[in-house]
Amino acid sequence: MTNPLLQEWNTPFGTPPFHLIETIHFKPAVEEAIKSAANEIKIITDNNELPDFENTIASLDRAGETLGKITSLLFNLNSADTNKPLQKVAQEVSPLLTRFSNDITLNEKLFARIKIVSESKGTSEFTVEQKILLERKFRNFILGGADLKVEARKRFRAISEELATLSLKFEENVLEETNLFELHITDREDLAGLPESLIETASKEAEIRKKTGWVFTLHFPSYVPFMQYSDRRHLREKMLKAYSSRAFRGNEFDNRQNARKIANLRLEIARMLGFKTFAEMILGDRMADTPEKVENFLEQLFQASKPAASRDFEHIRSFAESQGHTGALERWDWAFYFEKLKKKLYDIDDEILKPYFSLEKVETAVLGLATTLYGIRFIRNNTIPVYHPEVKTFEVYDHDNSFLSILYIDYHPRPGKNGGAWMTSYRDQKNENGNDVRPLISIVANFTRPSETRPSLLSFNELTTLLHEFGHSLHGMLTKCTYEGLSGTNVARDFVELPSQFMENFAFEKEWLDTWATHYLTDEKIPVEIINKIKEASTFNEGYACLRQLSFGFLDMAWHTIINPVDINISDFESVAMAKTELFPSIEGLNMSASFGHIFGGGYAAGYYGYKWAEVLDADAFSYFTETGIFNKETAASFRKNILEKGGTDKPKDLYVRFRGKEPSIDALLKRSGLI
C-alpha cells in the first residue's frame, strides 16, 4: 500500500495532501517514521567526532522531521475533525510516541554528548540563539529522566506513557459529553427572550437531528447566547448544570479519576527528578520561574480585583432584585442579568453589535489589520488540499513579495471538533542550509454559523477570539529563526499569550472599527455612539471577570503544587482551591476540574496563570501603541522585529525590553481593567 504520509508531498507549497490521507495510513506511517528518526539519532550517537553544537544539538533539532509532520497532522485532525476510528488510532499511537521520546531522552550516549556541549558553553562561541537551544535541549533531557538510575527509568517510562494516554482520554471524554447533551424545546413559549438569530439556528439544528421544534447544545455559539437571553430560568439552570458537569456524571466518560491520576503521576515524576512539586519542575524556564512567583502574582491580582469583583456581584444582585428576582443569585442567573444591566447602562449588547460583525467583513478587517501594521498580504488559494470543505486557505506574502506562510482558517463548530478556539501548525519555520522553510499555520474556532436568512454574525467575544488566535498565527507566520525548536510560538508558556492578547486590544479602538464595521443589511457604518459604548463597557464587570480567571489559575496551581498524592474526591479538592474566589452558592454535581482541558489535556499545566501574566505584558505593550499611534509603522516594526520574529531565540524579558525600552508594569493592566 502506498502511504501518502511517507511520500513527498507534491502539493502547493508542500502542504499536507488531505485529499489522499485516510485514517488507516497514520499508524503504519508513525511506526515507519519512528524507525527513520531512530536511525537519525543513531547517526548522532555513533559520530566519532568530538561533540559540538552542529553535530549534536542542531542535528538533534533536525531529527525526526517526517515523524513530526505526521504526528502534527494526526493530533491536529484529532482536535479539529475527529471520529471514533481516528481517536482509536491516536490512542494506539500515543504510547508509541511517548516510548520513542523516552528512548531519546534516556539515551545515555546522546545525553553524554549533550553534556559535553553544555560544559563547553564557557569556551565556545555560541550565538544567543544557540545558547538558548542548548539550554532548552539540556533541560528537556533532565526533565526526560536522563539523569535517573536504571530502575527509576523503567518507572519513568511507564508513567509518561500512561500520562500521554490519560490526557488524550480526558479530552475525548469532554468532547463526548459536550456532544451528548441537547436541550430539545417543543413549546415556542420556552423561547422567550431569545434572539431570532439563535432561534433560527436552533430550528436548523433540530431539523438536522430530525426533530420538531428547536435544539440547543453546549457548543459556545448555542450555549452562550442561551444563557445570556433566555427568560426561562429553569432552562438556564438545566443548560448550566449540563455544561458544568461535563465528564463528572459517573458514566463511562467520567474524568474524576483521570484528573486525579494525572495530577498524582505528574507529582511522582517531579519527585523522581528531584523537585518538590510538578509546578516547581515545569516553571524553571518561564518568566515566572518558581511557584512562589506565580502565587505572589496571582495573589497580587486577587487583592486588586476582589473588592471590584464583590462590587460587581452586588451590582448584578441588586439589579436582579429590581427586576423581580427573589432568593439567591445563582450561577445560571449571572450572564442573564449581566446582559440586561449592561444593556441598561450602556444601551449595548451582542444583538446590537452582531449586525456590524459579519464574518466576511471581520475576516477582511483582521487580515487587513496585519497588512496595515506589518505590510503583509493574504491571497486566497482554493487549490490547497483541506481536511474539511469549510476550511479556507491563504497564501501569505511579506511587503517585499517574499513568501511567508500558508494560513488555514476553520471557523464553525462540528460534532468532531473540540470546543473553543486555537492556533496550531502543520509545519514550523526553520532555516536549513540557508533555505528558509516557511510555516503552515492553522486557526480553528467554533463561531456562529450562517443561517438561511443571515450570514455568520459574530458576537463581540467571537471578534476578540479571532483577533486572539490571529495574534498567535502572526507569531507563527512572521518568525525568522534558524532552529525549528525555537521558532514561532515555541516560547515560554507565560510569554506565548502576549502576541495573541495584544491583538484583542484593537477590538475596542474606534480608529480600527471605523475602517470596516458596517451593517450587513444597510451597509451603514457602525455609529460612533456604539463604538464609544464598546469602550465604556469594556471595564464593566471586569473585577468579576478577573476574579474568575484567577480562580482557574489558583485551581491549576493547587493541582500542581501538591506534595502528596491527592486521595480525596476532586470536588472537595477543588472547593478548597477556589474557596477565596467563590461568590456564588456551591452546587452539588458541578465541577471545573473534570473538564479543565487546558491543564489535564492541553499544555497549560502549572501555566494557566500565563493568561493573566500576558495581560500585564499586552496592556503595557498596547499602551505604547496608543502613545505613538495604534497604526504607527515604527512601533509596529519594533513589535514585529523584537517579538513576533524572534520566537524563543532570547529570554522573553530581554525581547520585551528591547521592544518597549523598559520592563513591563502591572499598572497598565490595572488601569485598563478599571481596577485603579
Task: Based on the fold, state whether residues 114 and 22 are members of the same structural domain.
Answer: yes
Task: Based on the fold, state whether residues 99 and 220 are members of the same structural domain.
Answer: no
> So what's the pLDDT on residue 628?
96
Q: Is the pLDDT of residue 123 over 90?
A: no
What is the 3-state composition of the chain as percent helix, strand, coil, each rounded to the nearest 5? 60, 5, 35
Task: Based on the fold, state whether residues 96 and 224 are members of the same structural domain.
Answer: no
Q: What is the mean pLDDT of residues 474-503?
A: 97
Task: Based on the fold, state whether residues 79 and 15 are members of the same structural domain.
Answer: yes
453 inside domain? no
Residue 122: pLDDT band with limits 50, 70, 90: confident
| Portion of the chain with pLDDT greater than 70, in percent | 100
Residue 121: pLDDT band with limits 50, 70, 90: confident
237 inside domain? yes
Catalytic residues: 469
Q: Is the pLDDT of residue 665 over 90?
A: no
In contact, 481 and 429? CB cutoff 8 Å: yes
Residue found under cell 467520567: 254
Q: What is the CA radius of gyration of the chain?
A: 25
Cα→Cα distances 215→174, 182, 295, 448, Å: 20, 6, 43, 15
Query: Of 214, 244, 274, which marks where a domain is finished?
Result: 244
435 inside domain? no
Task: Based on the fold, state whether residues 92 and 139 are members of the same structural domain.
Answer: yes
Cα→Cα distances 638→493, 587, 641, Å: 22, 49, 5
pLDDT digits (tens, 9 = 90+) for 528-541: 999 999 999 999 99
What is the CATH classification number for the domain harbouring 82?
1.20.1050.40
> So what's the pLDDT on residue 202?
97
Q: Is the pLDDT of residue 74 over 80?
A: yes
Q: Is the pLDDT of residue 193 over 90?
A: yes
Task: Based on the fold, state whether residues 40 and 119 are members of the same structural domain.
Answer: yes
Residue 666: pLDDT band with limits 50, 70, 90: confident
Task: Based on the fold, state whether residues 136 and 186 are members of the same structural domain.
Answer: no
Residue 190: pLDDT band with limits 50, 70, 90: very high
Task: Based on the fold, state whether residues 11 and 132 are members of the same structural domain.
Answer: yes
Task: Based on the fold, state whether residues 107 and 193 are members of the same structural domain.
Answer: no
Task: Based on the fold, state whether residues 80 and 131 are members of the same structural domain.
Answer: yes
The model's pTM is 0.95
Q: What is the mean pLDDT of residues 392-420?
A: 97
**Residue 59 is which amino acid?**
S
Query: Of 204, 225, 244, which marks where a domain is finished?
Result: 244
- The number of folded domains in the chain is 2
288 inside domain? no
Q: What is the DSSP string of 493-532?
A: TTTTTHHHHHHHGGGG-HHHHTTT-B-TTT-PBPPHHHHH
Write the CB contacts of 127 (distance below 8 Å, at least 6 apart in sequence).
none
In residues, how long is the chain? 676
> So what's the pLDDT on residue 675?
84
Sign of the dihedral defined by the CA atoms of residues 116, 121, 124, 130, in that order: positive
Task: Based on the fold, state whether residues 129 and 49 are members of the same structural domain.
Answer: yes
Task: Based on the fold, state whether residues 128 and 55 are members of the same structural domain.
Answer: yes
Residue 347: pLDDT band with limits 50, 70, 90: very high
**What is the spatial distance between Cα 351 and Cα 319, in angstroms, rounded to a whole number?**
21
Q: What is the mean pLDDT of residues 378-389?
A: 98
The overall average pLDDT reported for the chain is 96
| Portion of the chain with pLDDT greater than 90, in percent | 97
Lookup: cell for 609: 496563570
Q: What is the mean pLDDT of residues 36-63?
A: 97
Lookup: cell for 227: 444563557
Residue found under cell 441598561: 344
> So what's the pLDDT on residue 676?
77
Give the DSSP letter of residue 643: I
In contact, 80 and 14? CB cutoff 8 Å: no
Q: Is the pLDDT of residue 459 over 90?
A: yes
Sheet of strand 392-397: strand arrangement: 377-380, 392-397, 403-410, 440-444, 422-427
39 inside domain? yes
115 inside domain? yes
**What is the spatial distance between Cα 413 and Cα 415, in angstroms, rounded to a whole number?**
7
Q: What is the mean pLDDT of residues 469-484?
A: 98
Give the DSSP letter of residue 641: I
The domain of 195 spans 181-244
**What is the spatial distance between Cα 229 and Cα 463, in angstroms, rounded to a whole number?**
19
Residue 186: pLDDT band with limits 50, 70, 90: very high
74 inside domain? yes
Query: Of 199, 219, 244, which marks where a domain is finished?
Result: 244
Q: Is the pLDDT of residue 1 over 80?
A: no
pLDDT digits (tens, 9 = 90+) for 595-607: 999 999 989 999 9
Q: What is the mean pLDDT of residues 236-261?
A: 98
191 inside domain? yes
